[in-house]
Amino acid sequence: MRDTVDLARILFGADAAFAAVIDQDTGGLILDTVSGDGVWHPAQGQLPVDAGIAGWVVSSGHAVLANGTGSTTEFPSEPVSRAGYVPGRVMAAPLVRDGHCLGVIEVLGPGGPVNDPRDLDLLVLLADQAAQRLPSR
Ordered DSSP codes for the chain:
-HHHHHHHHHHTT-SEEEEEEE-TTTSSEEEEEEESSSS---GGGEE-TTSHHHHHHHHH---EEEE-TTT-SSSTT-HHHHTT---SEEEEEEEEETTEEEEEEEEES-SS-S--HHHHHHHHHHHHHHHHTSPP-
pLDDT of residue 50: 79
**Within 10 A of 14 (CB to CB), how many other CB atoms are there?**
23
Give CATH for domain 2-132: 3.30.450.40
| 45-59, 67-81, 90-104, 119-133: least confidently modelled range | 67-81
Q: Are 17 and 35 in contact (CB under 8 A)?
A: yes
pLDDT of residue 134: 87
Give the residue, 40 or 96, on which the prediction is more confident. Answer: 96
Q: What percent of the chain has pLDDT over 90?
A: 40
pLDDT of residue 45: 64
Q: Is the pLDDT of residue 40 over 90?
A: no
pLDDT of residue 66: 84
Q: Is the pLDDT of residue 51 over 60?
A: yes
Rg (CA), the chain: 13
Q: Is the pLDDT of residue 131 over 50?
A: yes
- The pTM is what? 0.83
Q: 76 pLDDT band (50/70/90 cuts)?
A: very low
